[in-house]
Structure formats: C-alpha cells, structure tokens
Amino acid sequence: MHISNGIIDGPVAAVFAALALAVLTFCVLRGRRDLDDRLAPMAGLVAAFIFAVQMLNFPIFTAGVSGHLLGGALAAMLVGPWVGALCVAVVLVVQALVFGDGGVAMLGLNITNMALLGTAAAYVLIALLLRVLPRTPTGLAVTAFVSALVSVVVASQGFVLQYWLGGTTDLGGNLTGLAGTMAGVHLLIGIGEGLITATTVVTVAKVRPDLVYALRALKPAVPAPAVPVAGGAR
Amino acid sequence: MSKRPWPFVLGGLLVALLLAGVVSNYASAHPDGLDSSLLKGCTVNADGEITGGSCPAQQAKDHELADSPLADYGVRGVSNGFLSTGLSGVLGVLLTFALGGGLFWLARRRGPATGSATVPGTGATAGPASDQAGPGSGRAGDERPARAAGTR
C-alpha cells in the first residue's frame, strides 16, 4: 500500500509528514515506558519480520491483484501500540530510502496510513477483544485476525482521505468510487493479513507467551472462570 | 518472566531471513491493492505498463532514489533474478533489524535487568512503577491457582 511519488500533491504530503513526525515523537516518548531490555530486541525482530513478510505479496481472489502484510496489528500485539507503530515506521523508512518502495516525499502519508492508522485501529480492537473473548488460543487467534483485517481497511481509507485532500487526478467527484474500490480490495487483503497475524501471534504465544505484549498488558475484565479462586469464593 | 529474549529473537530472525531470502521469490508480481485501485480507468499490457485510458496512476513520478543499489528489491549487478531478490531481502532484514533494534536499544529504559522482580528507585521516571505492576501481578496470577488448589 505504498504511495508512489506524484500521486498526492506536495503540500498535502508535507502536512502529513509533519503530522507523522509529531505522532512518532509521541510514540517514542510513550513507548519508552514499555521499552526495556526484553522488549527492545523483540521490537527489532518485529520490524525485521514485518520487512520480510511485506516482500511476500500474495494473490487475492480478484484476478491480477496482490496484497501484502502491513503489520500494524502484528506489531501492536507483540510489542504494544507505541513501539509497534515505530516498528512499522522503521520498515517504511528503510523501504523508501534503500529499496525505492514508496516515494520519499510520500513517506509521511505512508507512515500515517500503515504505521499510525493501521496500528491504532488494530490496538483499539485488540484491547476490546482480548477483554471479552476467552483466554484461549482461539480467542487470541480471533483477536489477531479481526484486528488485522480491520486495520488494513482503515489504512486504505486513510489513503482515500489523503487523496480527497491532495490527489493529483480529478476524479470528477467520484471519491466514493475510489473509497469503495479501496475498501473492497483491502477487505480481501485483510483476510490474508488476518491469517498471517493470527498464525504468527499464536505461534509466539505458544513458544514464549511472556513475549506477547498484549497478553502481558491486557488483563481480562472479569476473572477467568478457570481460576479456582473464583469458584472457591462462590 | 526472567527468561532472556535473545534465543527467541535469533530464531525469529532466521525465519525472517528465510522468508525474505528464499520465499520472496515466489511472491505475486501483480500490483497491490492500492496500485490496482489507481489503475482503474486505464488499460495495461502484460508487463503492467499503461497502454491507454485515464487513471490516477498516470500521475506517478519516478522515485527519488530509483538508482539505489537495492532499488526494487534487487541487488544491482547481480544478474540472477532469484539471487538478486533473495540477497536484497536478506540485506533488508539485517538492515531493518540493525536500525530498528539499534534505535530501540538506545531508546530503552535503563534500569534493573530484564523484568527481574522489583528494584525500586533506580529509575527516575514513572516507568518502573508500571513495569513492577506487570511481572508482579503476573506472578501473583501464577501462584494463586496453586495456593487455592492446596487449600481445597
């Protein structure tokens, strides 16, 4: 979902660059509370892993169209929303500056969509779902799948907003057409994102549950019925 | 909780290297969701080049660093496509890990060793307090079932 140069005009790109920089700075300040000797290497791994999986474009049902992981939900689950957004941003910076993927002038737009909007939308859902769903591998998988799917669609609509503000082609008022096309195709891509995210998170939770941020930070709203204390108090 | 993250991180890094270094060669070459949406209204040939019509993608300009040695996920000078893609992926994973991991390591909260219990007063920020709550309550949660089972 990397925007190429020339698609959005310069002034709007500059505004989003400033916005992205401000929010990323806040993420650094807030994320430092989470970053300890254990989370820092894990965050490096998450960034490297997202870079790798972003190379793996998968076909979707629509002929001739592919999609790839964005990674916001994966990062939010494994290292939290603040550090997670920074992980995706690091990937986007490397891609733009070294691999010629996503215009350098468009970096603020791309970071806003994929690193900020995607991660934020995912984490809101993660926080909600992990509190209401059972604390089982299935509950974790459903949380990862749904939050990942929605985050991709939200990120795609971030682009639509940007295109409305500074798109370089006059769509003749047919912005809803673009919004619908983007939402539809990214709903399909989101299924792939959901499957990859759920598989990865469940695997990590099986091997090292202590390295899954969402499992550490989000306690269930009600005591899990499996805890004998609750039964004993009855 | 006191387990070190490094063995897991190294294992994960190997998986990432394998994905970017080998599996990446089997990735779909079709335009992604955004690019294909921007091509709506245009006709394209088998190589993905625009042959007619009008669409937003026609406004696309060259990348500022289009002649970077790793541009478009290939290593310049390596003619074997499989090797070129794989090598660029490996370099990208290592670079992203070095940059990301390095920055996160520098920005991390200095203090007591990895999640090991509660060492109060070493950090001046509010951070350690929330950290204590994490492992502390986690441990309590682990012990409670055992104790409750014992009393029954």
Q: Which amino acid is at A39?
A: L
Predicted local confidence at residue A170, as pLDDT? 86
Asked if the C-beta of A165 comes within 8 angstroms of chain B's C-beta atoms, the answer is no
Instruction: Give the model's pLDDT for residue B49.
Output: 87
What pLDDT is stored for residue B148 in this prediction? 39
Q: Is A61 exposed, middle or buried (0-12, 13-18, 19+ CB in 10 A)?
A: exposed
A125 CB within 8 Å of a chain B CB: no
Containing structural domain, residue B94 = 65-99
A191 vs A211: CA distance, rounded Å: 25
Residue B79: inside a domain, yes or no?
A: yes
Q: Is residue B90 part of a domain?
A: yes
Tell me phi and psi for residue B77, to 5 degrees: 100, -15
Chain A residues in contact with B76 by the CB 8 A cut-off are none
Q: What spatial distance separates the first Cα and last Cα of chain A, rounded to whole Å?
A: 53
Residue B142 sits at the chain A interface (C-beta within 8 Å):
no
CB A191 within 8 A of CB A62: no
Tens digit of pLDDT for each residue in A153-209? 999 999 999 999 999 998 877 899 999 999 999 999 999 999 999 999 999 999 999
Q: Would you state the structure tokens that stand for residue A105, as one six-digit string?
A: 């002038």
The pLDDT-based confidence of B111 (bands split at 50, 70, 90) is low
Q: Is residue B93 part of a domain?
A: yes
C-alpha closest to that of A142 among A183, A201, A90: A201
* pLDDT band at A229; cut points 50, 70, 90: very low
Domains, in order of start, for chain A: 10-216 (1.10.1760.20)
Identify which has the larger pLDDT, B137 or A90: A90
Q: What is the pLDDT of residue A220?
A: 58
pLDDT reading at B122 higher than 90: no
Three-class SS state of B118? coil
The tokens for A136 are: 């089982």
Average pLDDT (B28-45) is 92
The runs of H, that is alpha helices, within chain A are 10-31, 39-54, 72-79, 81-98, 107-110, 118-132, 137-166, 175-207, 213-217, 228-233
- Tell me, what's the pLDDT at B123? 40
Domain-embedded: residue B91 = yes
For residue A120, give both structure tokens.
């934020």
At B115 the pLDDT is 44
Question: Does any CB of chain B come closer than 8 Å to the CB of residue A184?
Answer: no
Dig out the tokens for A171 from the structure: 């769509």
A63 C-beta neighbours (distance < 10 Å), count: 7
Query: CA A75, A76, A82: angle at the middle one, nearest 5?
Result: 105
In chain A, the residue whose alpha carbon lies closest to the alpha carbon of B124 is A33
Provide the pLDDT confidence category of residue B85 given band limits of 50, 70 and 90: very high
Query: Has residue B71 been placed in a domain?
Result: yes
Beta-ladder partners of A54: none
| pLDDT exceeds 70 at position B141 | no
Which two three-digit tokens encode residue A143?
A: 């949380």
Tell me whether residues B30 and A189 touch, CB distance under 8 A.
Answer: no
Please state the rounded mean pLDDT for residues B91-119.
Answer: 80
B70-77: long-range pairs with CB below 8 Å, 24+: B70/A98, B70/A99, B70/A100, B71/A99, B71/A100, B72/A99, B72/A100, B72/A101, B73/A55, B73/A99, B73/A101, B73/B24
ipTM: 0.90
* Confidence grade of residue B145 (pLDDT, cut at 50, 70, 90): very low
- Cβ-based burial of B28 (10 A; exposed 0-12, middle 13-18, buried ≥19): middle
Q: What percent of chain B has pLDDT over 70?
A: 71
- Residues 29..58 of B with a Cβ closer than 8 Å to A: which? 29-38, 40, 54-58
What's the pLDDT at A214? 95
Q: What is the tens place of the pLDDT at every residue in A18-76? A: 999 999 999 999 999 999 999 999 999 999 999 999 999 999 987 789 999 999 999 99
Q: How far is B111 from chain A (nearest CA, A)?
A: 8
Which of residues A216 and B16 earns the better pLDDT score?
B16
- Given a contact cutoff of 8 angstroms between Cβ atoms, the answer to whether A46 and A90 are in contact is no
* Residue B15 lies inside a defined structural domain of this protein: no
Query: Is A233's pLDDT higher than 80?
Result: no
Domain count, chain B: 1
**Nearest Cα to Cα of residue A58 among B23, B13, B86, B85:** B23
Residue numbers of B between 75 and 104 with CB closer than 8 Å to A: 88-89, 92-104
Residue B126 pLDDT > 60: no
Cα–Cα distance measured from residue B51 to residue B35, given in angstroms and rounded to the nearest whole number? 16
The bridge status of strand A58-59 relative to strand A66-67 is antiparallel
Q: Is residue B146 part of a domain?
A: no
